[in-house]
Structure formats: structure tokens, C-alpha cells
Amino acid sequence: MFRSSLRRLTLLCAVALIPSVVWAVPAAAADESVPEPSSFTSTLTSTATPDAVRDDVGKPVPGQPGAEGKFVLRINSKLDIVCYDITLTGVTLPYESGARTATHLQEGKPDESGYVRMVFPDPQGPPDGPLTSKGCLKGPFTSGVVLRHGDTGRGFTLAMVERNPPEWFVDVHTKEFRVGAVRGQLAKSG
């Protein structure tokens, strides 16, 4: 009888500890690097150029002459995963930005500035280029830019971009071209 009560007490203690173990497991990190999913809901592309750069009020500002960026974003909005393939040519480093990285996806029409909604790892490579960055990220996404209501990536999902790609742009910022070395609006591919 004593043994049976001791077993029951041990079992109850073990069950009572399970919730605390579950709570101790951290949530997935924001902008988590993940393997490529088996399918995508859309593919978006952009050719980013210096003449498309805009300042905070949407006025044209010169980017880096002769620079260009090629962005391919394959999106699975159901899983909130984006696989990116970014190539920069003619961009002179170092990068510089108030966000976590200097390579961004921002919300804004062609003649608008916009909030950084997510960041990509900055392209790397030899000084004479090309600079490249490839991989896949899973939301929730953050930018590292914190305003009054929190991080500008807060509440952002890839489904928002899929609804109207031309109202979103990608850009890259450097120390010499802080407003942007190159910028380009997104378009559906195929």
C-alpha cells in the first residue's frame, strides 16, 4: 500500500513538472534560417538600380552609379517562408544601416519611402564582386528598426507582399550611400 501511494505521488510529481518543461522550451527565433520548402506560392523578382533610390519623403536621390542588384524571392506564404537569391554588382562596401542588416524588404510604391519590414543577410563576396546571399528564412520577421509601436517587422507576413508585389521594394544601403545604393520594386515572375 505504501509503495502504491509512493508510485502515485511520484507519477503526480512527474506530471506536474511536464508543463514547466514545456514552458522552458524557447519559441522559434524570429527570422529563423530554415531548409527550402517543397513548394512555393509565388516567385517575385526585382532588378534594383541606383536611379530608383528615394529619400524619406519619396524624392529621387542618387544611388551608387553603375551598381545593380538582382533579387529573386520564392515565397511559401502558407508557411511564411521566403527563399532568397540576391546578387549585387558594383556595390562598394561597407554596408551601413539602422536595421539589423543593410539589405531590406520595404513597404512602399515606386515614389514612396517605406518601413523596413524584413531584412536579408547582406551579400558577401570578393571586393570586385559579385556579392551574393542565398538561403531561406521563416517568420515571424523583424527588422531591428524600433519605432513607437515596436519593431517595424511586427505583424508582417509574406502574404502581404503576395497580394500586391509592386507596392513593395528591396534595397541595399552602404556607408557611402546611406539612403540606398540600389533599389527596385518587386514584380511577379512567370
How many domains does the chain fold into?
A: 1
- Supply the pLDDT for residue 75: 98
Residue 7 domain-assigned (yes or no) = no
- Burial degree of 150 (CB within 10 A; 0-12, 13-18, 19+): exposed
Question: Which of 187, 170, 157, 33 is closest to 102 using CA atoms?
Answer: 170
Residue 165 domain-assigned (yes or no) = yes
Rounded Cα gap, residues 56 and 111, in angstroms: 10
Residue 142 domain-assigned (yes or no) = yes
Contacts of residue 104, Cβ cutoff 8 Å, sequence gap at least 6 = 97, 116, 117, 118, 119, 120, 143, 170, 171, 172, 173
Residue 24 domain-assigned (yes or no) = no
Cβ contacts of 18-26, under 8 Å, gap ≥ 24: none
- Supply the pLDDT for residue 190: 63
Count the helices and strands in the chain (H runs, E runs): 2, 12
Task: Tell me, yes or no, if the pTM score tops 0.85.
Answer: no
Q: pLDDT (tens digit, 0 to 9) for every residue of the chain, 190 residues total?
A: 444 444 444 433 333 333 333 222 233 345 789 999 999 999 999 999 999 999 999 999 999 999 999 999 999 999 999 999 999 999 999 999 999 999 999 999 999 999 999 999 999 999 888 999 999 999 999 999 999 989 999 999 999 999 999 999 999 999 999 999 999 999 998 6
Rounded Cα gap, residues 119 and 170, in angstroms: 9
Residue 71 domain-assigned (yes or no) = yes
Q: pLDDT by residue (tens digit) across 13-39?
A: 333 333 333 222 233 345 789 999 999
Residue 11 domain-assigned (yes or no) = no
Residue 22 domain-assigned (yes or no) = no
Residue 150 domain-assigned (yes or no) = yes
> Which range marks the domain in which residue 108 is found?
32-188
- Supply the pLDDT for residue 129: 84
**Which amino acid appears at position 175 of this protein?**
K
Rounded Cα gap, residues 126 and 55, in angstroms: 29
- Supply the pLDDT for residue 31: 74
